[in-house]
Every structure is written in C-alpha cells, then in structure tokens.
Amino acid sequence: PPPPFPPSADGAMFRTVTLALALASAAAFVPAARGPVARSRAAVTMATPSDEVPIDMTRRTIMNAVLFSGVGAAALGALVPYVAFFVPAGGGGGGAGLVAKDALGNDVKEADWLATHGPGSYALVQGFKGDATYLIVRDDKTLENYALNAICTHLGCVVPWNAAEKKFKCPCHGSQYDATGKVIRGPAPLSLALAHRETNPDNGKVTLNPWTETDFRTGDAPWWK
C-alpha cells in the first residue's frame, strides 16, 4: 500500500515542525531548574558566620563543657587525698598530735603499752603517713620522748631492730643505724626520721608530733621537714 505521507520535501518539513511543537509544549510544563539553584548559591555566598550559629556547634560546646567539668571534678577528688597524704596530721605540743595506732588499728595508750613492752623494747606502731614507727621503752620502764620512722633512707625498706646487736639492720642492702636511728653504715645516706612522742594527759593516748628542730644526733636541720 502507498505510505501515508509521500516522501517529499514538504512531508519532511511537516514532520520537523510537528516535532518542534511537541518539544516546546512539553518544556512549558517543566519548571526551570536553574532558578532555585542559583538563588541557593547566592544565599550561600552571601551568608557569613555571624548570621547564625549552627546547631551542631552549640551542642558540641555544651558537651565539651559537661565533659571537662566532670573530668575536673574527678581529678580534684583524686588530688585531695593525695595532698592530704603528704601533710602531717596534727602538730604542736601538749599531746595534740597524731594518735599512734597498734597493729590492729587501735589507739595506743601508754599504760597498756608499757604493760606489754618491757625495758629496751623497740616495737612498731603506725605513724605519720601510715609509716611504721618505733616506740622505744627506756631502761626505767618509761617511753622515750621521741619515736623513729622505720623506713630506710636508702630505698624505703622497713628496718628491723636487732636486739642482740642493739642496732637497726636493713635486710635489703645492709644499711645500719644505731639505737637512736643515726646512720652508721651505708648505702643509706641519712638517719631515720624523728618524731616527738608525747602522751595526752586527758586520755593517756600516745601521740606523735612533727620534729621540726635540729636533729640532736647530727646537729643538722631535719632532712624530713
């Protein structure tokens, strides 16, 4: 059968015009895509940091403040007992010092101590900073007016009293101290630290007070002050 349109120049032109009209009609129903994009770009270009504060930045600032506040409080809580450890508890005279504790954590009373510790006794109590400290019973059955820190000044071992040789002998590296705690053999460089020993007249409890004056054994200022 013959084609609906004859293959002539007029037919080709008719098809071209028809296609152009169809495309133009379709474009009329499609919104322009570049207008909003252009306006958006312009808005971004013209915006400045001072125009608004992003919500994420505000949240980040609040979270940082909460975090650092928590960390600071925890650090302060840990620091308080650490500082207190290095500050001697108590001081002054008249028995108003640190109450000595026995091995069971009980307060030491002079009368009870002397009832169980004879002349020449060197026995340990808990002193400043929790350090082992020697109470000394004199030959007249009274307590010596000073106490000795039992921590070796070399590397910190607890130094036992050798009653047979009447001196302290460190089992770690061989340092030795006489009966007053004065160093007589190295490698320990210093004598044992001193503390005043007193008795509270109201309750009979043994108290320890910091020794801040001249070391009577050496004539020097106290190295532990």
pLDDT at 83: 39
pLDDT at 60: 62
pLDDT at 225: 78
Three-class SS state of 200: coil
pLDDT at 73: 55
Give the span between the Cα atoms of 7 and 136, in whole angstroms. Answer: 133
Segments of the chain scoring below 70 in pLDDT: 1-96
Instruction: State the DSSP string of 23-62.
Output: HHHHHHTSPPSHHHHHHHHHHHHH--TTT---HHHHHHHH
- Among 146, 120, 126, which residue's Cα sits nearest to residue 222? 146
pLDDT at 67: 57
pLDDT at 90: 36
Give the pTM: 0.59
Token code pair at residue 116: 């169980």
pLDDT at 97: 85
pLDDT at 55: 52
pLDDT at 170: 96
Exposure string for 166-201, b = 16+ CB within 10 A, e = fewer: ebbebeeeebbbeebbbbeeeebebbbbbbbbbbbe
Residues 152, 140: contact at Cβ < 8 Å?
no
Give the span between the Cα atoms of 16 and 25, in whole angstroms. Answer: 14
pLDDT at 64: 64
| Cα-based angle 147, 148, 149 (whole degrees, multiple of 5) | 125
- Percent pLDDT > 90 in the chain is 56
